[in-house]
Chain A
Amino acid sequence: MIRGTIKVDTEICKGCELCITACPQKSLGLSNNINSHGFKYVELIQDNCTGCINCALVCPDSAITVYRQSKNSIKQNKKVTV
């Protein structure tokens, strides 16, 4: 499996949950914490992110940055630890 991860700008996130539904891996959920604007923000709740960018695409506030293991490391079948 290709591995990926995301970084959420928790101050920008408004907790609309659209990314949670968009995620095919069900990797995302709302945090119990709230940001300074009073919104619960999104976070990874499972370590199965594939870096497919679906969450970032539907995010209205551009709060999500997506990373994926490089093509190089996929080719070399490097071991990935999460």
Chain B
Amino acid sequence: MNMKYDNNVKLMKGNEALAEAAIRAEIDGYFGYPITPQSEILEYLSKNFNEEDGVVLQAESEIAAINMVYGAAGSGKRVMTSTSSPGMSLMLEGISYITAAQLPCLLVNVSRGGPGLGTIQPSQADYFQSTKGGGHGDYRLIVLAPNSVQEMADFVFDAIYLAEKYRNPALILSDGTLGQMMEKVRLPEKGSLPKSIPEWAAKGKIKNKERNIIYTSAVDPTVMENLNKELQNKYALLQQEVRYELSQIEDAEILIVAFGLSARICSKAQEMANDNGLSVGLLRPITLYPFPSDTIYKLAQKVQAILVVELSAGQMVEDVKLVVNGSCPVFFHGRMGGEVPTPDEIFFELKKITDKQAVKN
């Protein structure tokens, strides 16, 4: 993908930057339902999306919205939806269908504290739901986790690119803070993502050609298993798209693994720790699926300990532990229900780990 950027720097909310990026990524349609803290996406598009370029439709529910996405994506168009955690739960059935039918589309979850109605404050407790499939059946989403307003915009292009390349929905897993906060952003320009109607699309049967059928069912389990194998082969191939960011990992004794908003807070804590004589590195997974397993494993052989920080009771930490497989101790610090840790808090955790490791050594 050849990204070109606007020369102007703008001050924008994360949600609005994402919405503007969607327009510039030349989507044909947006279907969504209002829910805090992401309603600005629907609002921004309702105001700024040119009717001639496509459709912005407020559906009667998230269930309807995701199924409109399913239909529109099935006809080969570039479409998206956005929601927040409770809405995402409602969409999961449709997402399972879209994934089984191997349709590309962009999903956005500006997640909030849960479970239940929860709060409208940021959370990363949808990690399991996002990276393990979420709905029924063996499927995965391509998951990108931004940690700035700039990435809220950029990842629209990355996610659509990957979704169309692999014919699989791609999810931007953001949170209430990234959606609501304002930062400077340089927006990608139109034309960075070439668009064409794919051959498989259900858009009217072409004469003398086989009809196109978008379906997800089979009576014969052999057929269904083969469909599953196709998906799994695709996910194996998808591993090459893994993305992450490393900071100060040379000679690091402790490695922090954190994504999105918590990675941002951790980078401040890392700075404090290193100023105080600790040696702390940071790995920020940018793609949560595929997960940067190899890199984490390699680093686990070098460091004394790993600290995973999440805005949840500890979800990604399970993946980290699985990868580390006992190579080094893995600690966790998390806040839940919309609470966000301070850099001090994480610095304190880092000191505790250093003390523990010093005692051991």
* Any A–B CB pair closer than 8 Å: no
Q: Which chain B residues have a beta carbon within 8 Å of chain A's beta carbons?
A: none
Q: Which chain A residues have a beta carbon within 8 Å of chain B's beta carbons?
A: none
